[in-house]
């Protein structure tokens, strides 16, 4: 059986990265015969961010009142992610990017069947290596590192490819009432936030049980 998990997230959200890593652990713990298909939906936490992004220290100081407060919040995410396999390197991050182009690249990756691996690379590039994921050249490099054609990715980004699709998907997400990320739709059951691995595992297993019931002829329209 195949369980569909739709992930709504933004690439500058540390909890989105943590949640995705925990979901991956839960998937790895599932018994044989249960397959999981991941789909990705865009969400921009800073939809009005200037295209070139903004100095991270300036941005975070303005958003949270001080740089000290921002550093405290960074430390809290690092502490929360212990054991989740996330090597945060906040000092390496110089800019808070506009993430529209990253979400646009995801549209091309989804067409080519490599969305999940590209998403993982974008998250890692930003949070673990401090790369500017708002820069189209950096995104084209990331695409190439994941086996995509760099020239094709660069041309796609330069030509505005995927912009309309991202905007339409974001509108649909908003119309469904999603106001914060990460949000995980696991076969119709919503898990909000970077929940513990056990929560994801239990939700996946319930989805598997529902699928099994349907296959056995017990599925209803409710």
Examine residue 81 and state whether it is found in any structural domain, yes or no. Answer: no
Average pLDDT, whole number, for the chain? Answer: 94
pLDDT at 214: 61
Backbone angles phi and psi of 107, in degrees to 5? -65, -40
Per-residue pLDDT tens for 88-140?
999 999 999 999 999 999 999 999 999 999 999 999 999 999 999 999 999 99
pLDDT (mean) for 3-28: 97
Rounded to whole angstroms, the Cα distance separating 192 from 180 reads: 8
Examine residue 152 and state whether it is found in any structural domain, yes or no. Answer: no
CATH number at residue 195: 3.40.30.10
Examine residue 27 and state whether it is found in any structural domain, yes or no. Answer: yes
- Provide the H-helix boundaries in the chain: 14-28, 56-64, 67-80, 100-111, 115-127, 136-145, 150-158, 163-175, 197-215
Examine residue 173 and state whether it is found in any structural domain, yes or no. Answer: no
Please state the pTM of the whole predicted model: 0.92
Query: Does the pLDDT value for residue 213 go beyond 70?
Result: no
pLDDT at 222: 35
Examine residue 8 and state whether it is found in any structural domain, yes or no. Answer: yes
Query: Does the pLDDT value for residue 86 go beyond 80?
Result: yes
Number of domains in the chain: 1
What SS3 class is residue 190? strand
Examine residue 144 and state whether it is found in any structural domain, yes or no. Answer: no
Domain that holds residue 38: 1-43+178-222
pLDDT at 183: 98
Backbone angles phi and psi of 3, in degrees to 5? -100, 130
Query: Does the pLDDT value for residue 217 go beyond 90?
Result: no
Query: Does the pLDDT value for residue 19 go beyond 70?
Result: yes
Examine residue 77 and state whether it is found in any structural domain, yes or no. Answer: no
pLDDT (mean) for 82-92: 95
Token reading at 60? 């975070």
For residue 194, what pLDDT band results from cuts at 50, 70 and 90? Answer: very high
Rounded to whole angstroms, the Cα distance separating 11 from 43 reads: 9
Examine residue 26 and state whether it is found in any structural domain, yes or no. Answer: yes
pLDDT (mean) for 65-83: 96
């Amino acid at each position: 059986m195949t369980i569909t998990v739709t992930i709504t997230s933004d690439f500058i959200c540390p909890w989105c990265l943590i949640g995705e890593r925990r979901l991956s652990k839960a998937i790895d713990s599932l018994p044989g015969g249960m397959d999981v298909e991941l789909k990705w939906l865009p969400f921009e936490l800073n939809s009005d961010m200037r295209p070139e992004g903004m100095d991270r220290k300036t941005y975070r100081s303005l958003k949270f009142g001080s740089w000290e407060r921002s550093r405290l919040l960074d430390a809290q995410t690092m502490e929360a992610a212990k054991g989740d396999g996330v090597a945060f390197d906040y000092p390496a991050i110089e800019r808070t990017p506009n993430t529209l182009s990253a979400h646009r690249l995801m549209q091309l990756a989804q067409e080519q069947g490599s969305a999940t691996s590209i998403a993982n690379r974008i998250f890692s590039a930003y949070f673990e290596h401090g790369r500017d994921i708002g820069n189209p050249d950096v995104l084209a490099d990331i695409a190439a590192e994941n086996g995509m054609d760099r020239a094709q990715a660069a041309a796609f980004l330069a030509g505005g490819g995927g912009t309309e699709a991202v905007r339409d998907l974001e509108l649909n997400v908003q119309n469904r009432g999603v106001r914060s990320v990460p949000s995980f739709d696991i076969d119709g059951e919503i898990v909000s936030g970077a929940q513990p691995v056990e929560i994801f595992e239990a939700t996946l297993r319930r989805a598997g049980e529902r699928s099994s019931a349907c296959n056995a002829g017990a599925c209803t329209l409710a």
